[in-house]
């Protein structure tokens, strides 16, 4: 009996050590899958969740881009720009959580989301709510900084096209919304209208012909 107790006592610190190692590993893995500024999933983590949702049900695919972001950086500084991105990410994350969807920061001031949306008539109401949430002013250094965004949404029949295709047409819809001063725009056409350069819509950053930042 005493030998058994001794063995258990000796094994306890080892087991505790492995438990702590497992917790550290899972925490490190979770952090690696999240954007350090917003806490939202990274592109890879978002795509994995989003593709699963698209296989399961009819969804809306959203591309969200902040309006006037360059001006925020130029006028208020990069710390204010970070605060704007962080606030937009938190608000978008809250909205997507209610929708039981997937969300991620794609980079810069660009975000994406995929949310279950069986009924077409529900989407305009939800986008209006999301736009109002994201566009609330951001408090920074004792000042309220105006924040705007443009949202493009693809919402077509089930099954959906590939995530990359849906994001491309959502991006085109977002561009259309931005050209008219911001807001949101929905498309149900899965065929992209713009040619692409390096996998991005012609005129987006990273292509040969760049639009000015709005």
Hey, how many other C-beta atoms are within 10 angstroms of the C-beta on 196?
Answer: 13
Q: Is 109 a catalytic residue?
A: yes
pLDDT at 5 over 60: no
User: What's the distance, Cα to Cα, between the start and end of the chain in Å?
Assistant: 76
| pLDDT bucket at 33, cuts 50 / 70 / 90 | confident
How confident is the model over 50-63, as a mean pLDDT? 97
| pLDDT bucket at 194, cuts 50 / 70 / 90 | confident
Q: Hey, is 38 helix, strand or coil? A: coil
DSSP secondary structure code for residue 14 in this structure: H
Cβ(175)–Cβ(67) under 8 Å?
no
Q: Name which residue leads in pLDDT, 197 or 44.
A: 44
| pLDDT bucket at 143, cuts 50 / 70 / 90 | confident
Hey, how many other C-beta atoms are within 10 angstroms of the C-beta on 9?
Answer: 9
pLDDT at 200 over 80: no
| pLDDT bucket at 19, cuts 50 / 70 / 90 | low
Whole-number mean pLDDT of the chain? 84
Q: Hey, is 192 helix, strand or coil? A: coil
Beta strands per DSSP E along the chain: 59-67, 102-107, 110-116, 138-140, 143-145, 148-154, 183-187, 196-197, 200-201
The predicted-structure confidence for 75-96, as pLDDT tens digits, reads as follows 999 999 999 999 999 999 999 9
How confident is the model over 130-149, as a mean pLDDT? 95
pLDDT at 213 over 60: no
Q: Name which residue leads in pLDDT, 83 or 2.
A: 83
Q: Is the dihedral of CA 139, 145, 146, 148 positive or negative?
A: negative
Which one is catalytic: 35, 67, 109, 171?
A: 109
Instruction: Enumerate long-range contacts of 77-80, CB under 8 Å, 24 or more apart.
Output: 79/140, 79/141, 80/138, 80/140, 80/141, 80/145
Say if residue 162 is exposed, middle or buried (CB neighbours under 10 Å; 0-12, 13-18, 19+).
Answer: exposed
| pLDDT bucket at 12, cuts 50 / 70 / 90 | low
Q: Describe the crossing of helices 78-99 and 69-76 by its angle, rounded to 10 degrees.
A: 140
């Amino acid at each position: 009996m005493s030998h058994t107790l001794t063995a258990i006592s000796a094994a306890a610190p080892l087991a505790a050590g492995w438990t702590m190692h497992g917790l550290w590993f899972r925490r490190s893995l979770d952090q690696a899958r999240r954007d350090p500024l917003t806490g939202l999933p990274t592109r890879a983590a978002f795509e994995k969740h989003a593709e699963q949702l698209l296989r399961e049900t009819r969804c809306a695919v959203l591309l969200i881009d902040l309006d006037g972001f360059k001006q925020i950086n130029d006028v208020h500084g990069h710390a204010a720009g970070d605060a704007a991105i962080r606030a937009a990410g938190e608000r978008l994350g809250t909205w997507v959580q209610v929708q039981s969807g997937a969300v991620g920061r794609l980079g810069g001031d660009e975000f994406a989301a995929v949310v279950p949306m069986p009924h077409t008539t529900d989407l305009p109401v939800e986008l209006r709510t999301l736009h109002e949430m994201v566009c609330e002013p951001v408090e920074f250094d004792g000042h309220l900084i105006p924040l705007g965004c443009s949202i493009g949404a693809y919402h077509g029949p089930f099954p959906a096209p590939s995530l990359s295709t849906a994001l491309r047409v959502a991006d085109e819809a977002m561009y259309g919304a931005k050209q008219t001063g911001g807001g949101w725009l929905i498309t149900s056409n899965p065929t992209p209208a713009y040619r692409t350069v390096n996998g991005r819509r012609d005129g987006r950053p990273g292509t040969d012909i760049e639009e000015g930042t709005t």
